[in-house]
Amino acid sequence: MAKAMQGKYLESFIQMLRSEKYYSPHTCSNYSRDLEYFSRFLLKNNVSHWPEVNYSLVSSYAAFRFRNGLKSRSIQRELSSIRSFYQHLIRQGLVKSNPAKEVRAPKSEQRLPKICDTEQIEQLLHSGDINDPIFIRDLAIFELIYSSGLRLAELVSIDFGDIDFSQRLLVVTGKGNKTRYLPVGTKAINAIRRWLKIRQEFIRDPAETALFLSRLGNRISARNVQSRLNRLVSQQSLDQHLSPHTLRHSFATHLLESSGDLRAVQELLGHADISTTQIYTHLDFQHLAKVYEAAHPRAKRRS
């Protein structure tokens, strides 16, 4: 059953995500995997066609995944994949209603994103060999992520011509093929200019348009960026689980702490829904609570 379903409706759904929604290969792979798990569950329950699925089956699947240790957030993602797939089947005329529409995963505690404080950022970005071409490139990469709140996929896709140095402006294409314009800070601009002075040393193909290049002269990969950050973190004896996304979280949190403008942070991060951005208000409150406890005479704890 699973193969038959994938051979027609699943493949057309994934193709639609690629060609119409412009989802990344990684995102499409996640959708495909989620629906493969679901189709296997249906097979074990003697369901052989997508129109046979009802609310009870989808709800049972969510409960089954929960009993097997899957986190609530992951179950929510799988249910979202199933809902999106059935919306596709409705448009195809195969089914009339969405059996996953009302199914909800059990609520879980909201996990706050990990961030670096400003001192850690300073230590991370200003403790390398300024004469090492690789470090010069890495510094430009991480300064830019922190300066503009970039996703890793957005960072590696930047071309040489995407930065306007006179306006200190960067154009990026984010999720759903949406374009946004981002300011670039002075330190990031200076770091990128230092990188551009030696970029030609990495070039193998004169037609290469990528801003950041690997040792082989190709567009740098996401895996390479993460590996370089791991190396830098290890050298500085910082958190071993620091990721490029941590720099993006830090950008958002530090900006919100200083400005208090949630809507602006939403626009800069490229979030379609402000509810996604509201996670940073929890971090901002934690920061304010610490300031309050340290400063207010009625809040100070006795030693």
Q: Which of 151, 199, 228, 249 is catalytic?
A: 151
Q: Do β-strands 163-164 and 169-173 pair in parallel, antiparallel, or remain unpaired? A: antiparallel
Q: Is 249 helix (H, G, I), strand (E, B) or coil?
A: helix
CA distances from 77 to 46, 65, 171, 209 (A): 24, 12, 29, 35
Cα separation, 199 vs 79, in Å, equals: 45
Q: Is 151 a catalytic residue?
A: yes
**DSSP annotation of 241:** T
The Cα 248–Cα 145 span in angstroms is: 6
Residue 280 is a catalytic residue: yes
Q: Catalytic: which of 168, 175, 194, 287?
A: 175
Q: How far apart are CA 99 and CA 102, in angstroms?
A: 7
Annotated catalytic residue within 77, 83, 114, 271: 271
User: Coil, strand, or helix at residue 232?
Assistant: helix
Give the three-class secondary structure for 192.
helix
User: For residue 232, how far is the Cα from the chain centroid?
Assistant: 21
**Crossing angle for the helix pair 222-236 and 118-125, to the nearest 10 degrees:** 100
Residues 208/219, Cβ–Cβ less than 8 Å: yes
Identify the DSSP state of 272.
Answer: S
Annotated catalytic residue within 180, 187, 245, 287: 245
Annotated catalytic residue: which of 88, 199, 248, 249? 248
Cβ partners under 8 Å of residue 165, min gap 6: 189, 193
Structure tokens at 268: 């800069």
Catalytic residues: 151, 175, 245, 248, 271, 280
